[in-house]
Amino acid sequence: MGSGASSASDHGDLPASTERMFLEPQDMEDADAFFRGDTFSEDEKLLFSRIVGYVAKTSLGGMEYTMPLRCLQAAEAEASESRVALCLHGFGDDRCMALWTHFWLPMTEKGFHVVALDLPGFGRASGRPGKDWSAVDGELLLRLMECLRMRDGRVSVFAEGIGACAFLRAYAQDSAPFAGHHVLLNVQIGEVPKGLRENLESRGADIMLCGCEKFYPTQPPWMLSGLNQLSQLLLDPSTMGQLGTFVLWKVKNADGPTPIKSMRDGTWWTGNLEKTALAKAGHALVFRASADCFRELFDYVAAPPRKVIVKTALQGPEMTSIETGEINDTFSVFIRIRPLLERELKAGSENCLAVSDTDFPRDPPPQRIVVQAGDANLKGSYVFNRVFEQSMSQEAVFNSTAKPFVQDFLAGTNVTIFAYGQTGTGKTYTIFGPAEDPGIVTRSLSDIFEKMPAGKELHYEYVQLYLDDFKDLLADASGLGKLVEGKAGVELLGLSSHKATSASEILQAVAKGATRRATRAQDMNEVSSRSHAILMLRLKEGDGGDVFSSMFIVDLAGSERVARSGVTGDGFTEATNVNLSLTALGRVVMSLIEADITQTKAFIPYNASPLTMLLKAGLGGNSKTALVACVTQAADSLSESVSTLRFAMQASHVKNKVEQKEAQDRADQEKTKIAEAAHELRLSGGKGSVELTSGSIEIWGTWQSAAEETVILLGGLGSELEQLEGLITALRDIGRQVLAPKLPGTAEKHLDADVSILLELLDWLGLAKPAFYGRDWGAVRAVRFKMAHPKRSGNLVLENRLNKMSEAQYKAKMKKDPNYALQEYMGPWLWFFDGTFPKSLDGSGIGNNVKGFKGNVLFLWPYHTKGRHDPPKRVTTCSKVADVYAKAVKTKPVDSYLMTDADIASRIVGFAE
Ligand SMILES: Nc1ncnc2c1ncn2[C@@H]1O[C@H](COP(=O)(O)OP(=O)(O)OP(=O)(O)O)[C@@H](O)[C@H]1O
Closest among 774, 793, 771 to 831, alpha carbons compared:
774
In angstroms, the CA 470 to CA 536 distance is 14
What is the average pLDDT value for the chain, to the nearest integer? 81
User: Radius of gyration (Cα) for the chain, nearest Å?
Assistant: 29
Residue 338 CA to ligand 1 center (angstroms) comes to 7
> What's the gap between Cα 517 and its chain centre?
28
pLDDT mean over 429-438: 94
Residue 42 CA to ligand 1 center (angstroms) comes to 61
Q: Which of 92-106, 147-161, 410-424, 682-696 has the lowest mean pLDDT?
A: 92-106
- Numbered ranges of CATH 3.40.850.10 in the chain: 331-558+623-650
The DSSP letter of residue 86 is: E
Q: Where residue 87 falls among pLDDT bands split at 50, 70, 90?
A: very high
| Chain segment 866-903, per-residue pLDDT in tens | 999 998 878 888 888 898 899 889 888 999 999 999 98
Contact indicator for 878, 772 with CB cutoff of 8 Å:
no
In angstroms, the CA 23 to CA 57 distance is 6
Ligand 1 neighbourhood includes 551 CB (under 6 angstroms): no
Among 334, 338, 441, 520, say which to mutate for ligand 1: greatest number of ligand atoms within 8 Å of CB: 338
Residue 800 CA to ligand 1 center (angstroms) comes to 55
Ligand 1 neighbourhood includes 533 CB (under 6 angstroms): no
Closest among 851, 847, 880 to 863, alpha carbons compared:
880
In angstroms, the CA 269 to CA 286 distance is 11
Residue 235 CA to ligand 1 center (angstroms) comes to 23
| Chain segment 622-671, per-residue pLDDT in tens | 888 999 999 998 888 888 888 889 889 888 888 888 776 655 666 666 67
Give the number of the atom of ligand 1 that is nearest the alpha carbon of residue 530.
Answer: 27
Q: Which CATH number fits domain 8-302: 3.40.50.1820, 3.90.79.10, 3.40.640.10, 3.50.40.10?
A: 3.40.50.1820
More confident: 201 or 91? 201
Ligand 1 neighbourhood includes 429 CB (under 6 angstroms): yes
Contact indicator for 900, 723 with CB cutoff of 8 Å:
no
420 has pLDDT over 70:
yes
pLDDT mean over 756-781: 93
Ligand 1 neighbourhood includes 644 CB (under 6 angstroms): no
In angstroms, the CA 797 to CA 803 distance is 16
528 has pLDDT over 70:
no
Residue spans of beta strands (DSSP E) within 341-412: 353-357, 367-371, 380-384, 386-388
Q: What is the pLDDT of residue 384?
A: 92
7 has pLDDT over 80:
no
Q: Which of 247-261, 545-559, 741-755 has the lowest mean pLDDT?
A: 247-261
What kind of architecture, by CATH, is found in domain 331-558+623-650?
3-Layer(aba) Sandwich (3.40)
In angstroms, the CA 120 to CA 469 distance is 43
In angstroms, the CA 896 to CA 904 distance is 8
Contact indicator for 94, 65 with CB cutoff of 8 Å:
no
Give 491: exposed, middle or buried? Use CB within 10 Å, 0-12, 13-18, 19+: buried
Q: Where residue 806 falls among pLDDT bands split at 50, 70, 90?
A: very high
Q: Which of 111-120, 803-812, 818-827 has the lowest mean pLDDT?
A: 818-827
Q: What is the pLDDT of residue 250?
A: 75
Residue 434 CA to ligand 1 center (angstroms) comes to 10
Ligand 1 neighbourhood includes 518 CB (under 6 angstroms): no
Residue 535 CA to ligand 1 center (angstroms) comes to 19
Nearest CA to ligand 1 atom 10: 426
CA distances, 67 to each of 167, 260, 378 (Å): 16, 40, 45
Which range is most confident: 82-86, 649-653, 695-699? 695-699
Proportion of the chain above pLDDT 90, given as a percent: 30
Residue 390 CA to ligand 1 center (angstroms) comes to 12
Ligand 1 neighbourhood includes 169 CB (under 6 angstroms): no
In angstroms, the CA 57 to CA 66 distance is 5
The complex's ipTM? Answer: 0.97
More confident: 802 or 51? 802
Ligand 1 neighbourhood includes 427 CB (under 6 angstroms): yes
The DSSP letter of residue 81 is: T
Q: Where residue 279 falls among pLDDT bands split at 50, 70, 90?
A: low
In angstroms, the CA 50 to CA 109 distance is 14
Residue 343 CA to ligand 1 center (angstroms) comes to 13
553 pairs with which residues across the strands?
Answer: 417, 535
Closest among 811, 701, 832 to 765, alpha carbons compared:
701
Domain 665-912 has CATH 3.40.50.20: no
Q: Which residues are annotated as a binding site for ATP?
A: 421-428
CA distances, 202 to each of 208, 308, 315 (Å): 17, 7, 11
Q: What is the pLDDT of residue 658?
A: 77
Backbone angles phi, psi at 533, to 5 degrees: -120, 135
Q: What is the pLDDT of residue 3?
A: 34
Side-chain-side CA neighbours of 54 within 13 Å: the count stands at: 26
Contact indicator for 904, 896 with CB cutoff of 8 Å:
yes
Residue 847's CB: how many other CB atoms inside 10 A? 15
Ligand 1 neighbourhood includes 528 CB (under 6 angstroms): yes
471 pairs with which residues across the strands?
Answer: 464
Q: Residue 164: CB partners within 8 Å, gap ≥ 6?
A: 88, 90, 157, 184, 185, 186, 187, 188, 189
- Numbered ranges of CATH 3.40.50.1820 in the chain: 8-302, 665-912
Produce one character per residue of 866-893: b if its CB has 16 or more CB atoms within 10 Å, e if not.
ebebbeeeeeeebbebbbbbbbbbebeb
Proportion of the chain above pLDDT 70, given as a percent: 82
SS3 of 760, please?
helix
Ligand 1 neighbourhood includes 557 CB (under 6 angstroms): yes
Side-chain-side CA neighbours of 713 within 13 Å: the count stands at: 32
Backbone angles phi, psi at 50, to 5 degrees: -100, 5
Ligand 1 neighbourhood includes 421 CB (under 6 angstroms): yes
Q: What is the pLDDT of residue 841?
A: 67
73 has pLDDT over 80:
no
SS3 of 178, please?
strand
Residue type, 465: L
The DSSP letter of residue 365 is: P
483 pairs with which residues across the strands?
Answer: 492
782 has pLDDT over 60:
yes
Backbone angles phi, psi at 128, to 5 degrees: -135, 145
In angstroms, the CA 721 to CA 734 distance is 20
More confident: 465 or 207? 207
Residue type, 69: L
Among 389, 423, 525, 565, say which to mutate for ligand 1: greatest number of ligand atoms within 8 Å of CB: 525
Contact indicator for 776, 827 with CB cutoff of 8 Å:
yes
In angstroms, the CA 94 to CA 102 distance is 17
pLDDT mean over 71-82: 55
SS3 of 35, please?
coil
162 has pLDDT over 90:
no
Residue 220's CB: how many other CB atoms inside 10 A? 9
Ligand 1 neighbourhood includes 424 CB (under 6 angstroms): yes
The DSSP element (H or E) to which 198 belongs, if any, is helix 196-203
In angstroms, the CA 107 to CA 90 distance is 20
Ligand 1 neighbourhood includes 338 CB (under 6 angstroms): yes
Q: What is the pLDDT of residue 126?
A: 47
- Edge-to-edge order in the sheet of strand 367-371: 353-357, 367-371, 380-384
Residue type, 382: Y
SS3 of 907, please?
helix
Among 428, 430, 436, 437, say which to mutate for ligand 1: greatest number of ligand atoms within 8 Å of CB: 428
521 has pLDDT over 60:
no
Nearest CA to ligand 1 atom 2: 338
Closest among 807, 698, 717, 851 to 761, alpha carbons compared:
698
Q: What is the pLDDT of residue 913?
A: 54
